[in-house]
Structure 1
Amino acid sequence: MTFDNQTPFHAAITGIGMVSAAGIGVTQAWERIRLGESTAADTVPELAGTRADFGCVVPRFNPAQLIGRRKAWRLDRSSQFALVAAAEALIDCGLDTTTWDAARVGVVLGCGIGGAATWEKQHHILLEDGFERVSPMLIPMLAVNMSAGYIAMETGARGPNFVVATACAAGTSAIGQARELLRNRVCDVVITGGTEACLIPSIVSGFSQMGALSRRRADPGAASRPFDTDRDGFVPAEGAAILILENVADAQARHTSVYARVSGYGASADAYHATAPDPEGFGAELAIRAALRDAGLSADDVTHVNAHGTSTPLNDLAEARVIRRVLGVKPAVTSVKGVIGHALGAAGAIEAAATALSIQHQQIPATANLETLDPAIELDVVTRAPRKAKIDVAISNSFGFGGQNAVLAFTAAGS
């Protein structure tokens, strides 16, 4: 591993919680992600009658059972996901929320759209039944910041509390900002990640109308196919992932296990187009190079890339170009969106969790549905089966509408 003259700052990932179409809980989700098993449902009841009526839904999610009926009815589905994932992550890391220094515990989440399902439902009520029937909980249920707020209420965390809204880069941006709170000694612990729940007619129809979604309605399970020559758009998804970040020294003092370390963060803007990526990936390149520079790493150190890999023709090609230009053909590349679809503001957090798990298990997940690699994509993309590999350094890419780019660099705990 090659380091610059700077001293890199490492944030230890000591706990992970996941809620995704691959399952509720890290164990179940990781197994399906690892094997590259698609999770797309043939039809999503809420999307019935729309042109794009399939997606990747969290299976058998029962909020009343998982967080309690009285609490669940007050929360939008996006906040429910966040609470469930946070609870798992906190149990996993072994921290005692009753004894920690609450003022030194922050919450930083990413979310692209917020409580859209609540907003759509209440708008129907307004039109059909009148304003007097609109729920008094509408505003706290739809506001994009509330998922972080509710985690603080649940855990007593009194440190900085905010949500980052950088579209599909939001989860990655949030983790990067969480690490900054640790580096600047504002916090000792940060609960971070992302959440999203907007498999609803208005949002999905909007993506459909702009031509971003796959049209493979006859075979939804094969619709999300990152880097494949027959890819035609992404499959919408929902979910959440929460990571617990701590200072490495604190984790060592607690004798707790560390999945991996967040060692670098880079962000940039394409300054190019509202929805299309810069075809040459110049903005993405800035973010990748910034993340490596922040971590004190060189491009030669990177052995694995968890790609944004949305399965759209433009994004996959642009991302492949920048990976090849900056990192060459050495890194083994995967996209988990072939398994779990595109969870928008939560995608980067889920992929960060997957990257940390890849480092812990020294195994790279298979890219689902990749049958014929696009000949214009000159990368080593893992497909058909997971690959065992020595992973000391990995990066995770996230790019969003508005030209938002965010990249995290991870290192193995023992590096």
Structure 2
Amino acid sequence: MVHNVNITGVGIVSSLGLGIEEHKRNLFGQVDAIQQRQFTNNEHILDSYVGIVEQNLNVPEKYKNETKNFKLAFLAFEEALSSAKFNFKNKEQRIAICLGTSLGGKTSGQEALYAFEDGNYDLEEEMFEKRSLHHIADELIAYHGLVASYYVISTACSASNNAVILGTQLLQDDKCDVAICGGCDELSDISLAGFSSLGAINIESSCNPYSLGKGISLGEGAGFIVLEKNSPRNYGKILGGSITSDAYHITAPKATGEGAAQIAYNLSDQTGILLDKIDYINGHGTGTRANDSMERAMIEKNFPVETKISSTKGQTGHTLGAAGIIEIINCILAMQEQRVPATKTLPSEENPMETNFIKNKNFNKKINYALNFSFAFGATIVASFLLKIKCPKKHF
């Protein structure tokens, strides 16, 4: 594998902030962006703790009636292009756009269904287009008049990690010159109902990754990174990516963590970097017992105590298709700051002697290599990245 894929631009919108600066400040400030909200659907009521983007999402007038998911993606996409100083005049560039999302525009269809059930049978003509998975990518390309190949990946919670892996491979195979990769998802009845039916939502408090295992807190957001082969790596470098499946259970990972460990060893083989050289892991860390105990087992068996682990879902919530890209951006920020952002959680009662997991207080550490894990439903698809970064703070 040729290790020449540089990160030249970054953009993010999350419950921690609009844009990279606000997100970074609140991430390391240990701001709790998860709040209690009540959701109703007919006679059903759900009290849940969620990471909501509450700020106004200022998009061009033509997009005012688009889904929130589109608006999140639009703002993150714009910031990523701006920070990369993207040259729209270079028509010879071969551009690939790789978008990961769980929902796409499905909330448009959801709202149309509710209207239909209320007796409003006049659906807007564009609804069927807006509800598609690819609509967001279509509009991002059209807005800038780009000539681009594009790919939309919907592998649940690993979607945006898979998008970055695909963009990396396209660059390495000389299929494009620039890959704009990321993901987006908004809070919706669809996601809330699905996870609630599984009993996977923590209804007592915000999620507590690597602690009590009482469930997740959903969130929303979007992120994009711009990847190029030969431009200066303002924000870091992608060294490798790998995808596999446990083929164990439709929603639960194999408790021993074998699938996740295989990903790590695949990356080590790709890059020639031993696992004991990895300084920081941003784990999936959902707050569910099945996920967190599996990650603990995998970390304990395969990484030294010097490798530090945290989950940032305790601040942003689980953003589904956007989780991987938001957390890889958190890895970039950890390297830039030379600090591990702490897991906002409870002290562990299950394993009080653990030293790998950083909780409730940021940890100063030299970070040369960082690894991001994302796990997903569907026989447990697993995706991850390995990065290296050397960049001055002036880029942020």
What secondary structure does 2:224 align onto?
A: strand
Show structure 1 runs of 5+ residues with no match.
1-6
Show structure 2 runs of 5+ residues with no match.
392-396
> Retained in 2: the 8 A contact 1:52–1:215?
yes
Counterpart selection for 1:351 from 309, 314, 327: 327
1:88-167 equivalence runs, <5 A: 88-102=79-93, 104-131=94-121, 133-167=122-156
Give the superposition deviation at 1:44: 5.3
> Retained in 1: the 8 A contact 2:39–2:47?
no
Q: How many residues align?
A: 389
When structure 1 is superposed on structure 2, of 45-54 and 168-177 the one drifting more is 45-54
CA distance in 2, matches of 1:363, 1:44: 35
Counterpart selection for 1:22 from 16, 19, 28: 16
> Retained in 1: the 8 A contact 2:161–2:325?
yes
The question of 1:243 aligning with 2:225 is answered: yes
The question of 1:58 aligning with 2:53 is answered: yes
> Retained in 1: the 8 A contact 2:99–2:183?
yes
Alpha-carbon distance change, 307 to 127 in structure 1, aligned in 2, over 3 angstroms:
same
Counterpart in the other structure of 1:226:
209
Give the superposition deviation at 1:72: 2.6
CA distance in 1, matches of 2:268, 2:91: 33
Which amino acid in the other structure matches residue 251 of structure 1? S
Alpha-carbon distance change, 368 to 266 in structure 1, aligned in 2, over 3 angstroms:
same
CA distance in 1, matches of 2:90, 2:190: 44
Deviation sequence 1:150-201 (CA, Å, 0-9, x none): 221123332320111111011111101110111011111111111001x223
Give the superposition deviation at 1:45: 6.0
When structure 1 is superposed on structure 2, of 336-345 and 162-171 the one drifting more is 162-171
When structure 1 is superposed on structure 2, of 184-193 and 156-165 the one drifting more is 156-165
Instruction: Give the TM-score taking structure 1 as reference length.
Output: 0.89
1:8-87 equivalence runs, <5 A: 8-43=2-37, 50-62=45-57, 66-73=58-65, 75-87=66-78
What secondary structure does 2:83 align onto?
A: helix
Counterpart in the other structure of 2:296:
320
CA distance in 1, matches of 2:331, 2:350: 24
Alpha-carbon distance change, 377 to 310 in structure 1, aligned in 2, over 3 angstroms:
farther
> Retained in 1: the 8 A contact 2:7–2:236?
yes
CA distance in 2, matches of 1:280, 1:190: 35
Which amino acid in the other structure matches residue 242 of structure 1? F
Give the superposition deviation at 1:407: 0.8
Give the superposition deviation at 1:149: 1.9
- Taking every aligned residue pair, what percent have the same amino acid on both sides? 26
Which amino acid in the other structure matches residue 114 of structure 2? H
Counterpart in the other structure of 1:311:
287
Deviation sequence 1:225-263 (CA, Å, 0-9, x none): 1101x230000111101111111xx213xxxx5211110
1:375-394 equivalence runs, <5 A: 375=351, 378-394=354-370
> Retained in 1: the 8 A contact 2:164–2:182?
yes
> Retained in 2: the 8 A contact 1:304–1:331?
yes
Give the superposition deviation at 1:10: 3.2
Give the superposition deviation at 1:47: 7.2
> Retained in 1: the 8 A contact 2:314–2:343?
yes
Alpha-carbon distance change, 200 to 261 in structure 1, aligned in 2, over 3 angstroms:
same
CA distance in 1, matches of 2:282, 2:256: 19
CA distance in 2, matches of 1:143, 1:265: 28
When structure 1 is superposed on structure 2, of 377-386 and 106-115 the one drifting more is 377-386
Instruction: Give the TM-score taking structure 2 as reference length.
Output: 0.93
Counterpart in the other structure of 1:190:
179
CA distance in 2, matches of 1:202, 1:297: 41
Higher share in helix: 1
> Retained in 2: the 8 A contact 1:264–1:293?
no
CA distance in 1, matches of 2:78, 2:40: 27
Give the superposition deviation at 1:35: 2.8
Deviation sequence 1:11-36 (CA, Å, 0-9, x none): 11111111111111111111222233
